[in-house]
């Protein structure tokens, strides 16, 4: 017989008051500021974590902070392709997106995944609105040129995968001013009205820059950036990150995430946090308490 999970220890009233008092300076400091949140990983697929995420976003909005959510959806796209008998192909970690695959990407990201997140936030008492980069002519894109890692003179054709040309945040600002919470799918459009699938980390970083966000928070399935011994690095500067790239400490799937985070930090976003999305209410813990729950990246 399996043992039922232990129920959480109740928090004494004086401890609750202490926690709320600790949050007050942060609420005051960040009131009216924009926080861009890249939502992905386990936090997107585990029902308890989904609920906690939605509650965090609504609470931030209620205390006068402006959250903007950008989401990914790699696993959901993979499942949809399987259901349709289509096989996902990758080159150097990038999904090859031909026209039929792009159709699936659009309805999974801009439909299914986005509307799930909008529904969760609305259920938690917020007013979320789903957008793609097409809405309000927000994300203009062009075809991404992918050069071969071994021989840069070789260019791989990965279809409708996009590189951001420009971001116009006016539709996001209009929604924020009206008490709505924007939820953005990482789809851009080209000069011939073609759609592009864009890395969600890159979209979140670029959006944080053009919105002059106070913070960019990236939810991942790891505790943050780890050194070679597996220890969490809680505070990183741009120079230290360049060293970690050079010696191979940061590699693979973390490369675009950290590169985007670094660009945002260098372009005026006050702090970029890479946080563990497997921790319930990690957004509130990271934004409204002193405790570091991930890696913070600063420009200098």
How many whole angstroms separate alpha carbon 295 and alpha carbon 16?
A: 26
The single residue listed with the structure tokens 């232990």 is 6
Report yes or no: 149 and 219 within 8 Å, Cβ to Cβ.
no
Please tell me whether 95 is known to bind a ligand: yes
Which two structure tokens, joined as six digits, stand for 298?
Answer: 């600063």
Number of C-beta neighbours around residue 103 at 10 A? 14
Please tell me whether 260 is known to bind a ligand: no
Rama region for 65: left / alpha / beta (φ>0; ψ in -120 to 50; rest): beta
How many whole angstroms separate alpha carbon 83 and alpha carbon 112?
A: 14
Alpha-helical (H) ranges within the chain are 13-30, 47-62, 74-83, 99-107, 114-123, 170-177, 200-210, 238-246, 254-266, 282-288
Report yes or no: 268 and 286 within 8 Å, Cβ to Cβ.
no
The greatest distance separating any two alpha carbons of the chain, rounded to the nearest whole angstrom, comes to 65
How many whole angstroms separate alpha carbon 49 and alpha carbon 41?
A: 10
Give the distance, in angstroms, between the CA of residue 14 and the centroid of all CA atoms in the same chain: 35
Q: Whose CA is closest to 41, among 16, 67, 75?
A: 75
Sign of CA dihedral 39, 44, 46, 48: positive
The single residue listed with the structure tokens 């129920």 is 7
Please tell me whether 197 is known to bind a ligand: yes
How many whole angstroms separate alpha carbon 196 and alpha carbon 162?
A: 5
- Mark the binding-site residues, compressed into ranges: 73-74, 95, 197
- Mark the binding-site residues for substrate, compressed into ranges: 73-74, 95, 197
């Amino acid at each position: 017989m399996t043992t039922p999970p232990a129920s959480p220890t109740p928090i004494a009233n004086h401890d609750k008051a202490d926690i709320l008092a600790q949050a007050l300076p942060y609420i005051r400091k960040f009131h009216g500021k924009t926080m861009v949140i890249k939502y992905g990983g386990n936090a997107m697929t585990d029902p308890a974590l989904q609920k906690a995420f939605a509650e965090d976003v609504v609470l931030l909005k209620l205390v006068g902070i402006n959250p903007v959510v950008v989401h990914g959806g790699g696993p959901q796209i993979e499942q949809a392709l399987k259901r349709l008998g289509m096989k996902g192909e990758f080159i150097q970690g990038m999904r090859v997106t031909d026209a039929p695959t792009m159709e699936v990407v659009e309805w999974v990201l801009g439909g299914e995944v986005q509307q799930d997140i909008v529904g969760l936030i609305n259920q938690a008492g917020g007013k979320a609105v789903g957008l793609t980069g097409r809405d309000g002519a927000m994300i203009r894109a062009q075809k991404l040129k992918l050069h071969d890692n071994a021989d840069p003179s070789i260019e791989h054709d990965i279809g409708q995968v996009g590189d951001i040309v420009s971001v116009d945040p006016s539709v996001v600002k209009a929604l924020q001013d009206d008490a709505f919470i924007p939820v953005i799918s990482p789809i851009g459009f080209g000069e011939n009205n073609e759609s592009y699938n864009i890395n969600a980390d890159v979209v979140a970083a670029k959006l944080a820059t053009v919105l002059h966000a106070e913070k960019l928070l990236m939810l991942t399935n790891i505790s943050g950036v780890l050194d070679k011994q597996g220890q969490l690095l809680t505070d990183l500067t741009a120079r230290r990150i360049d060293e970690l790239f050079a010696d191979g400490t940061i590699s693979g799937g973390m490369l675009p995430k950290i590169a985007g985070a670094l660009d945002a930090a260098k372009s005026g976003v006050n702090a970029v946090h890479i946080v563990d999305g497997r921790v319930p209410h990690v957004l509130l813990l990271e934004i409204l308490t002193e405790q570091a729950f991930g890696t913070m990246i600063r420009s200098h």
